[in-house]
């Protein structure tokens, strides 16, 4: 396999641009896809968000464009959202700058006249959302007859957003003799159907899930009760001092609540979700990118596919509903080589879900302890001292000298300054968080047991939980995942309790059946 960009045999101008962009070596998907794409072959590429798919198709498009450039656009890239279209066009413009190859984003929401003007001037690569592209085709402001390369970028998202018919319409306008590429984070069946209908013997390359969870992301979970989450969040923000933090919630309402509370407590936080207008969302994104706000609270949908380089922390305020969404969320940090931290809050009821995510995302999420009250206090005091120091050094406080002196006639300097601090920063108390030690630290600490009862015995998950907790005296929340098959089942229990469970359950009765239980042999999956 190729190891460096120069081994692809692409032009020096492009190599220089890539190096200006700070790319040192190709990512795995780039190593796999670029050589195939350069040969003009159709390609299906799968790799998680943040793995550099844009350049994987962008570099070959620009390299080939040098030969096939024409008056009309020679390549078109379809993307699901306006943000992505803009991002992709920017990246292509960077790669192509020394070749004089221009790309233009076209998307809904921007005045169409502005785009028509730019199109008129001549553009080599179109990056568009499907709806707006069709709009331009109808107005004949976009001519696709010279298109040689088509890319469906973030194809799974486009399907999720219902763009399939639009995409099919666009394909009708594009000459059959072309190169078609499809890139996606996941590969639902529907995508393969599109591939069959619109692609010519595509080569498929992919980066497996285990490699997708970018190794550079440190993953941890905290055990927190629902009502303690906001305090847990602020403790982490105070002590870890993240650069930019993205906080994920399930619902719009939760996003509003959490961002509102953070603002009340003096954090510089913003919110985005589907309920806001596009222009509000743009403004928030912009502020976040520039560091005008440090914390962005978002729903999955609103944060999809976005590439913000400096996010140091992703916090799952509510646990993601499935492993895919977990990977997508945490992929917002640790972008291209940087390290990142992904934190998940887990309530006692969600513990099993966490383990499922771990299993299917093929990753380990280890348990961490929240910063103590003492640590939080220290961190806050440090922060306050340094802002006071800054103010004193700038000398902006001197107008208050006379007032200070008058107050000192009545009160001690200690009282006056402490009162001023408490007025500014509120009570110095750090809220209590009830900490229970209930979960084992990692899936590694579980063992699987094999039981000789299953579905045909009319056994349900609840029966197994009940009988283990009753017979072995183990709280239900300590029992891991349970898999029921027809004639047998598997149950995960903390390793240190396994013997206790075996002794208690073996030869006991469950739904009128005698149960045998033992350590499971090797994993079946």
Residues that bind Mg ion (CB under 5 A): 53
The Cα–Cα gap between 482 and 254 comes to: 31
Q: How far is the CB of 181 from ligand ADP (least distance, A)?
A: 13
Neighbours of 362 (CB within 10 A): 14
Q: Does 206 help bind ligand ADP (rule: CB under 6 A)?
A: no
| Residue matched to tokens 């656009």 | 73
| Residue matched to tokens 């509003």 | 256
Residue with the shortest CB distance to Mg ion: 53
Segment holding 405, helix H or strand E: helix 401-410
Closer residue to ligand ADP, CB minimum distance, 153 or 238: 153
The Cα–Cα gap between 81 and 49 comes to: 15
- Which residues ranging from 459 to 518 are in contact with ligand ADP (CB under 6 A)? none
Closer residue to ligand ADP, CB minimum distance, 27 or 312: 27
Q: Does 336 help bind ligand ADP (rule: CB under 6 A)?
A: yes
Closer residue to Mg ion, CB minimum distance, 125 or 370: 125
Q: How far is the CB of 49 from Mg ion (least distance, A)?
A: 7
Question: Site for ligand ADP (CB under 6 A): which residue of 28, 37, 44, 52?
Answer: 52
Q: Which ranges of 127-228 would DSSP assign to H, the alpha helix?
A: 130-138, 155-160, 164-172, 189-198, 209-212
The Cα–Cα gap between 320 and 217 comes to: 17
Q: How far is the CB of 186 from Mg ion (least distance, A)?
A: 13
The Cα–Cα gap between 370 and 351 comes to: 17
Distances (CA, A) of 339 to 214, 288, 317, 342: 9, 19, 20, 10
Work out what residue 316 binds among Mg ion, ligand ADP, none; the CB cut-off runs from 5 to 8 Å by kind.
none
The Cα–Cα gap between 5 and 31 comes to: 8
- Which residues ranging from 22 to 51 are in contact with ligand ADP (CB under 6 A)? 23, 26-27, 30, 47, 49-51
- Count CA atoms within 13 Å of residue 281 on its CB side: 18
Closer residue to ligand ADP, CB minimum distance, 336 or 368: 336
SS3 151: strand
Fill in the per-residue mask, 337 to 356: x = in contact with ligand ADP (CB under 6 A), - = not in contact. Answer: x-------------------
Q: Does 307 help bind ligand ADP (rule: CB under 6 A)?
A: yes
**Partners of 509 in beta bridges:** 514
Q: How far is the CB of 89 from ligand ADP (least distance, A)?
A: 12
Q: Which one-letter DSSP state was computed for residue 97? A: G
Q: Which two tokens stand for residue 364?
A: 């380990």
Options 36-44, 52-60, 114-122, 381-389: segment touching ligand ADP (CB under 6 A): 52-60
Closer residue to ligand ADP, CB minimum distance, 4 or 518: 4
Options 6-14, 21-29, 271-279, 321-329: segment touching ligand ADP (CB under 6 A): 21-29
Closer residue to ligand ADP, CB minimum distance, 79 or 124: 79
Q: Are strands 513-514 and 509-510 parallel, antiparallel or unpaired?
A: antiparallel
Closer residue to ligand ADP, CB minimum distance, 136 or 332: 332
Which residues of the shown chain bind ligand ADP in the complex (CB under 6 A)? 23, 26-27, 30, 47, 49-55, 91, 307, 309, 335-337
């Amino acid at each position: 396999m190729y190891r460096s960009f120069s081994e692809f045999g692409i032009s020096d101008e492009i190599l220089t641009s890539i190096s200006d962009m700070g790319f040192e070596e190709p990512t795995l998907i780039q190593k796999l896809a670029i050589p195939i794409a350069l040969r003009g072959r159709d390609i299906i590429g799968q790799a998680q968000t943040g793995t550099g798919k844009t350049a994987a198709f962008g570099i070959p498009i620009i390299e080939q464009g040098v030969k096939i450039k024409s008056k009309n656009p020679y390549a078109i890239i379809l993307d699901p959202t306006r943000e992505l279209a803009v991002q992709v066009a920017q990246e292509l413009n960077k790669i192509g700058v020394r070749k004089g190859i221009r790309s233009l984003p076209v998307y809904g929401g921007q005045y169409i006249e502005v785009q028509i003007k730019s199109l008129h001037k001549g553009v080599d690569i179109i990056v568009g959302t499907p709806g707006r592209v069709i709009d331009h085709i109808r107005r004949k402001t976009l001519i696709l007859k010279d298109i040689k390369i088509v890319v469906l970028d973030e194809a799974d998202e486009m399907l999720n957003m219902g763009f399939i018919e639009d995409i099919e319409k666009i394909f009708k306008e594009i000459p059959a003799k072309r190169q078609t590429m499809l890139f996606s984070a996941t590969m639902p069946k529907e995508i393969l159907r599109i591939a069959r209908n619109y692609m010519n013997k595509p080569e498929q390359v992919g980066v497996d899930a285990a490699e997708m969870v970018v190794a550079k992301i440190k993953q941890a979970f905290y055990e927190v009760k629902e009502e303690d989450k906001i305090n847990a969040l602020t403790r982490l923000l105070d002590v870890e001092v993240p650069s930019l933090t993205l906080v994920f919630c399930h619902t719009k309402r939760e996003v509003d609540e959490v961002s509102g509370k953070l603002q009340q407590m003096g954090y510089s936080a913003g919110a985005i979700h589907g309920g806001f207008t596009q222009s509000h969302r743009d403004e928030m994104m912009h502020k976040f990118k520039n560091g005008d706000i440090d914390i962005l609270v978002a729903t999955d949908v609103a944060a999809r596919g976005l590439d913000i380089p400096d996010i140091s922390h992703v916090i799952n305020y509510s646990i993601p509903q499935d492993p895919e969404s977990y990977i997508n969320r945490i992929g917002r940090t640790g972008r291209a080589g940087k390290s990142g931290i992904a934190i998940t809050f887990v309530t006692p009821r969600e513990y099993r879900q966490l383990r499922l995510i771990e299993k299917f995302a093929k990753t380990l999420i280890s348990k961490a302890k929240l910063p103590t009250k003492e640590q939080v206090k220290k961190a806050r005091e440090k922060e306050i001292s340094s802002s006071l120091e800054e103010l004193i050094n700038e000398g902006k406080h001197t107008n208050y000298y006379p007032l200070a002196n008058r107050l000192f006639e009545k009160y001690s300097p200690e009282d006056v300054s402490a009162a001023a601090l408490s007025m500014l920063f509120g009570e110095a108390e750090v809220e209590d968080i009830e900490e229970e030690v209930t979960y084992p630290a990692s899936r590694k600490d579980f063992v699987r047991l094999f039981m000789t009862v299953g579905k045909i015995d009319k056994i349900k998950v609840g029966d197994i939980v009940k009988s283990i907790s009753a017979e072995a005296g183990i709280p239900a929340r300590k029992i891991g995942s349970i898999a029921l098959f027809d004639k047998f089942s598997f149950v995960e229990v903390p390793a240190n309790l396994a013997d206790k469970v075996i002794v208690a359950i073996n030869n006991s009765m469950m739904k009128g059946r005698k149960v045998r239980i033992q350590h499971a042999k090797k994993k079946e999956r």
